[in-house]
Amino acid sequence: MFKPNEDYLKLPGSYLFSTIAKKVAAFQESNPDKKIIRLGIGDVTKPLPKAVIEALHKAVDEQANAETFRGYAPDLGYEFLRHAIAENDFRARGCNIADDEVFISDGAKSDSGAIQEIFSKDAKIAVCDPVYPVYVDSNVMAGRCGDYDENTGMWSNVIYMPCTAENGFAPELPSETPDLIYLCFPNNPTGEAITKDQLQKWVDYANKVGAVIIFDAAYEAYISEDNIPHSIYECKGARTCAIELRSFSKNAGFTGLRLGATIIPHDLKVSFNGKEVEMHSLWARRHGTKYNGAPYIVQRAGEAIYSPEGKVQVKEMIASYMKNAKYIYDGLKEAGYTVYGGKNSPYIWLKTPDNMTSWEFFDYLLEKANVVGTPGSGFGPSGEHYFRLTAFGSYENTVEAINRIKAL
Amino acid sequence: MFKPNEDYLKLPGSYLFSTIAKKVAAFQESNPDKKIIRLGIGDVTKPLPKAVIEALHKAVDEQANAETFRGYAPDLGYEFLRHAIAENDFRARGCNIADDEVFISDGAKSDSGAIQEIFSKDAKIAVCDPVYPVYVDSNVMAGRCGDYDENTGMWSNVIYMPCTAENGFAPELPSETPDLIYLCFPNNPTGEAITKDQLQKWVDYANKVGAVIIFDAAYEAYISEDNIPHSIYECKGARTCAIELRSFSKNAGFTGLRLGATIIPHDLKVSFNGKEVEMHSLWARRHGTKYNGAPYIVQRAGEAIYSPEGKVQVKEMIASYMKNAKYIYDGLKEAGYTVYGGKNSPYIWLKTPDNMTSWEFFDYLLEKANVVGTPGSGFGPSGEHYFRLTAFGSYENTVEAINRIKAL
């Protein structure tokens, strides 16, 4: 008799956003006259930039014509997009990344879930706490995380690195040596970033102990301060220890269009059974076997954000979200809250008042201000007593939400 | 020190199409005046149907406007597409499939590679020989296949079911009991189909021994004969033992647009550690964790093939490829070849003449007729002495290629 993958059965239900949805629906039903404002989910709301729309229409027309029709895309991505990313996101910043070290995919979420597959089944992972759930859950599914403790909300075989106000939301080097280290900076959910010097310490550590850093740079476009790295390859030695995940979702509004890229330098290699193995070739093999390329029209849309007009439009989009972020940050400060993030990311992370739990504050905000956010404890135990608001709403709604909170 | 996934390292190089490409390039270089015709790769060449192009343009315009913009898609697919598939591809044929049993993805290749993840790590697989390589390779990567024997081209822990002229290209029930059975009919690469009665025997067998059939229906749109099933759910009892993979690539020309669907009935369940587990919920969890939905604009494009105009246009497209198939089939017969397939699929499978190996015939055809096909041995040991030609070229090229072969 066939059997299920028992590691899947270990996963606790993914209740965070469904619990939120249920609570909001129940509140709206009892209070049909209240206008609820949602600053909870990390999805963008602005339409795609004009340059992207134009590129999509043009590519669709190519697909309507036998002379210009394109079928299967190259497994690893079209050269025009791999080149645009390597040139604009890396070489223009002084990072030595070749076109063929860029792998195009249908999004950073898919890649952040799949990247663990190319490592050994007994690899030990280290994650920040709080953390984007995909890093841990995908490793649980692969059988690497041990058992779940419902009381602590932690897995027995995962190294957790707390990120709280006490350490400035910057994880400390772990005492136990991991094989894989997931880092996301600017961070989801805390909205805080780390400096280039801080990241350099992680690169040096990874090279020293023989670990690989999976660096999630999904929010790099929101960086406003000078000393914050946009890529881990700004650090010396990163080519031998780091994989970087890039997203088109938050910088260019591609959440519904799906496009991402993963960077694996040829220098990331390991000696195994007497042979030198490039992780680049393993990821290429995975793409060739379990994936079939991102749509041609979407890859053309991605290329368009690197055109002169595309760059201007993307900057304007980010500036408008960051205007929201500043309004939230300043408004909450004014109202007496202790607030983090929001300067190099679209997320504002606040300490709940009066030692409320994250969920108590969620209920309080929903009932008193009709504003929806995300309880920090939903991202891990060290997120307890914190709360996340996002800058992805409209400016009008953001202003109204913050004014309501200030009026409490 | 981190380690690679050693199961990846067991995979022999994927040399088939790269070897073909190298041989063709070398021949072209030595013979720059020869016009080579490629009937090797299974990629479509006709532009997307008009209804699809219109739906794409319309959806792109929606993404240009804040009022109609859509961000993250539902993990499992938009309701409009899940409904269109369940209604048109299943319920209209009398197959009892609910909308929520349809999972939308970026293509049948991704799903056929990933589906094994929801089963136990020691599941034993059975495949046809010759076979589409993804079924085996994805299981090798997951550590299920044992070791590779270079002499036989077989894995030690895989059940191979030969499909040759001797058994009418219909596999026989295996003597050893598998947990997962991969079946693709109409078949790639043989182009042959099995009848509903033949498939019913497999469903009965799977229910009896407690196996799951992964049924790849990628080529169902090419079926021209009445007694060939378009879906495994036409068979009684399939809801308790079968998963079906559907593709938009070959029927509607979506190879470059990327869209597929996987059907998992709620009735496919197993008792495990005293609990009843639905495989549907495991696949939903995988989608939620390691995937983020197909692009909205592509899902609208998929919906368009079910409109009255879309249905007509898709039928015309298939008819024109099948006109090629018939020309190839009849022409080769006339030239004295033993030919299979081509009636319910876009693939023609021929016996090499004079007991030539598949690769010898490849070289012969390239040198003498300047025509490129695919050596059957590249799909598995039982493909030796066979050769695949595809109907996806233009009519003019197809006619010229076959006339050249006839003239040999």
Residuewise pLDDT in 10s, chain A (408 residues): 999 999 999 998 766 888 898 999 999 999 999 999 999 888 999 999 999 999 999 999 999 999 999 999 998 999 999 999 999 999 999 999 999 999 999 999 999 999 999 999 999 999 999 999 999 999 999 999 999 999 999 999 999 999 999 999 999 999 999 999 999 999 999 999 999 999 999 999 999 999 999 999 999 999 999 999 999 999 999 999 999 999 999 999 999 999 999 999 999 999 999 999 999 999 999 999 999 999 999 999 999 999 999 999 999 999 999 999 999 999 999 999 999 999 999 999 999 999 999 999 999 999 999 999 999 999 999 999 999 999 999 999 999 999 999 999
C-alpha span between B273 and B290 (Å, rounded):
25
Q: Which domains occur in chain A, in start order? A: 6-47+314-407 (3.90.1150.10), 53-308 (3.40.640.10)
- Tell whether the model's pLDDT for residue B42 goes beyond 90: no
Q: Can you state the angle between helices A395-407 and A358-369, rounded to 10 degrees? A: 100
Taking the Cβ of residue A141 and every Cβ of chain B, the question of whether any pair is shorter than 8 Å is answered with yes
B302-317 in b/e form (b: 16+ CB < 10 A) is bbbbbbeebeebbeeb
Alpha helix (H) residue ranges in A15-72: 16-30, 50-62
C-alpha span between A351 and A183 (Å, rounded):
22
Instruction: Please provide the size of chain B in residues.
Output: 408
- Tell whether the model's pLDDT for residue B19 goes beyond 70: yes
C-alpha span between B18 and B155 (Å, rounded):
22
Phi and psi, residue B392, nearest 5°: -90, 5
Give the residue from B291, B1, B103 showing the smallest Cα distance to A112.
B291
Q: Tokens for B238?
A: 């399939």
Could you tell me which residues come within 8 angstroms of residue B86 by beta carbon, excluding any fewer than 6 positions away?
Answer: B97, B98, B99, B101, B102
What letter represents residue A27's amino acid? F
Phi and psi, residue A304, nearest 5°: -65, -25
CA distance A143 to chain B (A): 10
What per-residue confidence (pLDDT) applies to A15? 67
Residue B273 carries which DSSP code? T
Relative to beta strand B371-372, strand B37-38 is: parallel
Average pLDDT over residues B102-124: 97
Confidence of residue B148 (pLDDT cuts 50, 70, 90): very high
B-chain CB neighbours of A275 within 8 Å are 9
What per-residue confidence (pLDDT) applies to B93? 96
- Tell whether the model's pLDDT for residue B14 goes beyond 80: no
The torsion of the CA quartet B95, B99, B105, B111, rounded to 10 degrees, works out to -40
Q: Tokens for B174?
A: 């295996």
Confidence of residue B15 (pLDDT cuts 50, 70, 90): low
Taking the Cβ of residue B66 and every Cβ of chain A, the question of whether any pair is shorter than 8 Å is answered with yes
C-alpha span between A40 and A397 (Å, rounded):
13
Residue of A44, A113, A179 lying closest to B2 (CB–CB): A179
What per-residue confidence (pLDDT) applies to B374? 97
C-alpha span between B135 and B240 (Å, rounded):
21
Taking the Cβ of residue B236 and every Cβ of chain A, the question of whether any pair is shorter than 8 Å is answered with no
Q: Are B106 and B260 in contact (CB under 8 A)?
A: yes
Whose structure tokens read 């913050």? A402
Alpha helix (H) residue ranges in B115-272: 133-141, 196-209, 249-252
What per-residue confidence (pLDDT) applies to B286? 96
Could you tell me which residues come within 8 angstroms of residue B233 by beta carbon, excluding any fewer than 6 positions away?
Answer: B90, B95, B96, B97, B239, B242, B244, B263, B265
Q: Are B244 and B86 in contact (CB under 8 A)?
A: no
Taking the Cβ of residue A121 and every Cβ of chain B, the question of whether any pair is shorter than 8 Å is answered with yes
C-alpha span between B342 and B39 (Å, rounded):
13
Give the residue from B214, B224, B166, B172 showing the smallest Cα distance to B193.
B224
Q: Do residue A256 and residue B73 have CB atoms under 8 angstroms apart? A: yes
C-alpha span between A250 and A392 (Å, rounded):
9
A-chain CB neighbours of B285 within 8 Å are 8, 11, 14
A-chain CB neighbours of B69 within 8 Å are 45-48, 256
What per-residue confidence (pLDDT) applies to B16? 83
Q: Tokens for A19?
A: 């619990």
C-alpha span between B361 and B373 (Å, rounded):
9
Average pLDDT over residues B12-27: 86
- Residue B188 known to bind ligand: yes
Integer CA distances (angstroms), B200 to A35, A105, A159, B161, B192, in order: 56, 39, 50, 17, 17
Confidence of residue B17 (pLDDT cuts 50, 70, 90): confident
What per-residue confidence (pLDDT) applies to B46? 96
Q: Tokens for A319?
A: 């500036």
C-alpha span between A218 and A234 (Å, rounded):
16
- Residue B258 known to bind ligand: yes
- Residue B397 known to bind ligand: no
What per-residue confidence (pLDDT) applies to A41? 82
Q: What is the pLDDT of residues B152-203, one digit of tens each?
A: 999 999 999 999 999 999 999 999 999 999 999 999 999 999 999 999 999 9
Residue of B14, B46, B296 lying closest to A66 (CB–CB): B46
- Residue B386 known to bind ligand: no
What per-residue confidence (pLDDT) applies to A273? 92
What per-residue confidence (pLDDT) applies to A13? 79
SS3 content of chain B, % helix, strand, coil (to 5): 45, 15, 40
H or E, element range at B109: helix B108-114
Q: E-strand spans in B285-343? A: 339-341
Residue B136 carries which DSSP code? H
Share of chain B above pLDDT 90, in %: 96
Bridge partners for B182 per DSSP: B127, B214
- Tell whether the model's pLDDT for residue B284 goes beyond 80: yes
Could you tell me which residues come within 8 angstroms of residue B3 by beta carbon, excluding any fewer than 6 positions away?
Answer: A119, A120, A122, A123, A179, A270, A272
Radius of gyration of chain B (CA): 22
CA distance A25 to chain B (A): 18
Count the alpha carbons within 13 Å of A275 in the hemisphere toward its beta carbon.
8
Count the alpha carbons within 13 Å of B168 in the hemisphere toward its beta carbon.
7
Integer CA distances (angstroms), B237 to B120, B171, B408, in order: 23, 20, 50
- Tell whether the model's pLDDT for residue B279 goes beyond 80: yes
Taking the Cβ of residue B407 and every Cβ of chain A, the question of whether any pair is shorter than 8 Å is answered with no
ipTM value, please give it: 0.96
Taking the Cβ of residue A13 and every Cβ of chain B, the question of whether any pair is shorter than 8 Å is answered with no
B35-48 in b/e form (b: 16+ CB < 10 A) is eebbbbbbbbbbbb
Phi and psi, residue A273, nearest 5°: 50, 45
C-alpha span between B322 and B342 (Å, rounded):
7
Lowest mean pLDDT among A11-25, B46-60, B248-262: A11-25
B-chain CB neighbours of A241 within 8 Å are none
